[in-house]
């Protein structure tokens, strides 16, 4: 078989959806199918998020001495960045003699989807890209604003916004959606509204960001009003929009309204609820003290055995809102059958047992974690004060102002406790 013949067969297999056979055939033949076919195979790996096959393709390039030009090198970079292998992506990026805007975007986007350290690198790379003389486009701005949102880095976000305006990208719907989300995640709803109002074009993503942000800030009535306004303006809500609405109803205790909106997904909009939607309803019912109704909902799902997210929501609900031990352990068994390596839920289970002083069961949960080799990364939060990022771990004692911070936290906890208790019996228990 000639190189061109191999290329045709590989393309046919990709089109037919048989990527595994295509890669196996590629590795069995001594000839090179050409840059275009390598690019197609790598793109299929990106679409499927199949890191293993993509690495085999890269290894085959190296083994056959294929010389990667800028186009294929950029494809490799995109593959590694989108499959989450930022170490390999950095190596490819650092080895490029010439870096296009697409290459910079791939690295910034990949870092923006990583952990806090990677997100901080995304912001740094945005500055390095401009220093290299390249003009960011709408995809650059969308990615770096996403990183700023996840870091709650308001000042960095404002600077990126200013650059976007100067770069005449302020009218792009992708960049504006990320901008609205960034301001909301940084607790600046007024700025988010201004960005939304100034946007010449809007899409469902931008509306959803606004609805979600208002729900997360406790502005439930405004979130629901925005949903209705979006529908009146001719925008059709999607799955993510309904997740934002259901979450807002859960936080606001609006169970009946939430159930009505949930029902409208299929009846009015023809959307089929997914596991995440049922999980949101479980959370909503549990917050209202209706754990039994939440379990009945889960139990009556036609394919409830396959919904780990729903069983996980029920497990979390038992931790936060009570529930008998039998229900807790049933939810745990069903969840871990589907996701045995989820460290976070083992911690939830152990903490629930600890709250009930079931110490043997606590030890059993910890032993299960050790035997499976899973560990939970420490929880952390971040806040930006006067342009400086402050990151805190759970139970942190390393911050320079640690004593003062705990003193204020304790004072706030006492104030909240006095207010809530005073509403019932007028006595402070702080």
pTM higher than 0.85 for the full model?
Answer: no
Q: Is the confidence at residue 421, as pLDDT, over 70? A: no
CA–CA separation, 302 and 299 (whole Å): 8
CA–CA separation, 126 and 132 (whole Å): 10
Q: Is the confidence at residue 320, as pLDDT, over 80? A: no
Note the pLDDT of residue 430. 47
* Average confidence (pLDDT) over 280-308: 82
State both tokens at 430: 């702080």
Note the pLDDT of residue 422. 57
Q: Rounded to an integer, what is the distance from CA 95 to the centroid of its chain?
A: 30
In the numeric block, the tokens 């003290």 are attached to 289
Percent of the chain past pLDDT 90, that is, above it, reads: 39
Decide which of 255 and 422 is more confident: 255
Where is mean pLDDT largest: 74-78, 196-200, 310-314? 74-78
Please report how many Cα atoms fall inside a 13 Å half-sphere around the Cα of residue 327, on the Cβ side. Answer: 20
Number of helical H runs and strand E runs in the chain: 23, 2
CA–CA separation, 155 and 420 (whole Å): 35
Q: Is the confidence at residue 32, as pLDDT, over 70? A: yes
Task: Specify the length of the chain in residues.
Answer: 430
Percent of the chain past pLDDT 70, that is, above it, reads: 93
Decide which of 387 and 73 is more confident: 73
Of 33-47, 182-196, 406-420, the poorest mean pLDDT is in: 406-420
CA–CA separation, 233 and 225 (whole Å): 12
Give the pLDDT band (50/70/90) at residue 141. very high
Q: How far apart are the first and last CA of the chain?
A: 81
Q: Is the confidence at residue 257, as pLDDT, over 80? A: yes
Phi, psi of 130 (to 5 degrees): -65, -35
Average pLDDT of the chain, as a whole number: 86
Element (DSSP H or E) covering residue 393? strand 388-393
């Amino acid at each position: 078989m000639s190189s061109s013949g191999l290329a045709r067969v590989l393309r046919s297999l990709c089109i037919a959806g048989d990527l595994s056979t295509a890669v196996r055939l590629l590795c069995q033949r001594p000839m090179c199918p050409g840059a275009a076919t390598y690019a197609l195979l790598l793109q299929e790996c990106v679409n499927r998020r199949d890191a293993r096959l993509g690495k085999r393709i890269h290894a085959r390039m190296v083994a056959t001495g294929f010389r990667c030009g800028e186009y294929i090198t950029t494809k490799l970079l995109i593959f590694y960045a989108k499959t989450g292998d930022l170490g390999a992506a950095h190596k490819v990026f650092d080895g490029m003699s010439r870096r296009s805007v697409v290459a910079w975007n791939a690295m910034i986007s990949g870092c923006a989807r990583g952990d806090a350290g990677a997100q901080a690198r995304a912001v740094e790379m945005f500055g390095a890209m401009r220093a290299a003389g390249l003009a960011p486009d709408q995809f650059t701005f969308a990615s770096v604003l996403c990183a700023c949102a996840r870091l709650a880095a308001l000042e960095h976000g404002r600077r990126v916004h200013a650059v976007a305006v100067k770069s005449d990208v302020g009218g792009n719907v992708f960049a504006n959606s990320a901008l609205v989300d960034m301001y909301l995640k940084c607790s600046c709803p007024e700025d988010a509204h201004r960005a939304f109002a100034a946007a010449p074009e809007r899409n469902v993503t931008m509306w959803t960001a606004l609805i979600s942000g208002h729900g997360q800030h406790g502005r439930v009535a405004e979130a629901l009003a925005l949903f209705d306004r979006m529908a009146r303006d001719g925008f059709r809500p999607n799955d993510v929009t309904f997740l934002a609405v259901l979450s807002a109803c859960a936080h606001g205790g609006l169970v009946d309204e939430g159930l009505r909106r949930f029902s409208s997904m299929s009846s009015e909009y023809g959307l089929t609820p997914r596991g995440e939607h049922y999980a949101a309803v479980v959370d909503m019912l549990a917050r209202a003290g209706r754990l039994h109704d939440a379990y009945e909902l889960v139990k009556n799902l036609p394919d409830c055995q396959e919904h780990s997210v729903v069983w996980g929501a029920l497990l979390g609900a038992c931790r936060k809102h009570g529930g008998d031990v039998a229900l807790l352990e049933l939810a745990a068994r069903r969840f871990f059958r589907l996701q045995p390596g989820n460290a976070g839920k083992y911690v939830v289970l152990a903490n629930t047992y600890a709250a009930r002083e079931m110490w043997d069961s606590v030890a059993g949960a910890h032993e299960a974690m050790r035997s499976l080799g899973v560990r939970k990364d420490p929880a952390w939060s971040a806040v930006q004060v006067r342009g400086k990022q402050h990151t805190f771990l759970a139970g942190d004692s390393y911050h320079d102002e640690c004593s003062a911070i705990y003193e204020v936290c304790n004072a706030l906890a006492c104030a909240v406790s006095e207010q809530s208790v005073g509403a019932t019996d007028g006595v402070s228990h702080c």
